Amino acid sequence: MSQVKHLPANRAGAQGLSIEQLEAGLRVMANDGFSSHDFWDEHVASFRQTVLFAIRETSDALLSPTIPLHWRIELESQLESLVQYIELADRYIAHRSLSPKPSLSVCRSGSERIH
């Protein structure tokens, strides 16, 4: 049984994860015997939205003409890392969509029709 159920639910679908949800996910993934694929399958869209929000916030901060140089350098570095996270999430989503999904087969009696 998946341990993902212990992660606080993000009932709004593919909205961003809160800091608490990200931390809880990291704790769950650190447990022995946990399949990280279970976590990512359930939360990759929310993770992607969280990173997109961070990119937008970082980009907005970089547009400020009053930002000190040391912060500009730090934020530019973080922006590069955030873009790499988006690329990683996109590759995971693309790979997942190409992977064959197990088919659901239901045994029915010969006289029973489903359509």
- Least-confidence region, from 8-17, 45-54, 71-80, 97-106: 8-17
pTM over cut 0.75: no
Closest CA to 42 of 61, 25, 62: 25
- For residue 80, pLDDT beyond 70: yes
Question: H-helix or E-strand containing 98?
Answer: helix 69-98
